[in-house]
């Protein structure tokens, strides 16, 4: 199995590509929030992802 990496650039790219036309999940957070804040939260989320792996 290949090593899984969660880089800040990858997380930023995924967050920036979210569609704001999609419904929110069970947490009721609109996709608009992470899409607008993708640059500010990508580093934090990538760190959390790396810790969880």
Query: What is the model's pLDDT at position 29?
Result: 83
The per-type count for the chain, helices as H runs and strands as E runs, is: 3, 0
Query: What is the model's pLDDT at position 1?
Result: 55
| pLDDT tens digits, one per residue of 21-40 | 888 888 888 888 888 888 99
Query: What is the model's pLDDT at position 46?
Result: 94
Distance in angstroms (rounded) separating the CA atoms of residues 48 and 53: 9
Measure Cα distances from 3 to 6, 16, 31, 50 in Å.
10, 24, 29, 11
Q: What is the mean pLDDT of residues 5-31?
A: 88
> What are the DSSP calls for 35-53, one per residue?
HHTHHHHHHHHHHHHHHH-
Query: What is the model's pLDDT at position 20?
Result: 79
Backbone angles phi, psi at 10, to 5 degrees: -65, -45
Give percent above pLDDT 90 in the chain. 38
């Amino acid at each position: 199995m290949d090593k899984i990496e969660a880089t800040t650039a990858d997380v930023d790219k995924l967050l920036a590509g979210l569609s704001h036309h999609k419904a929110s999940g069970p947490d009721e957070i609109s996709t608009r929030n992470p899409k607008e804040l993708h640059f500010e939260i990508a580093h934090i989320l990538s760190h959390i992802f790396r810790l969880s792996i």
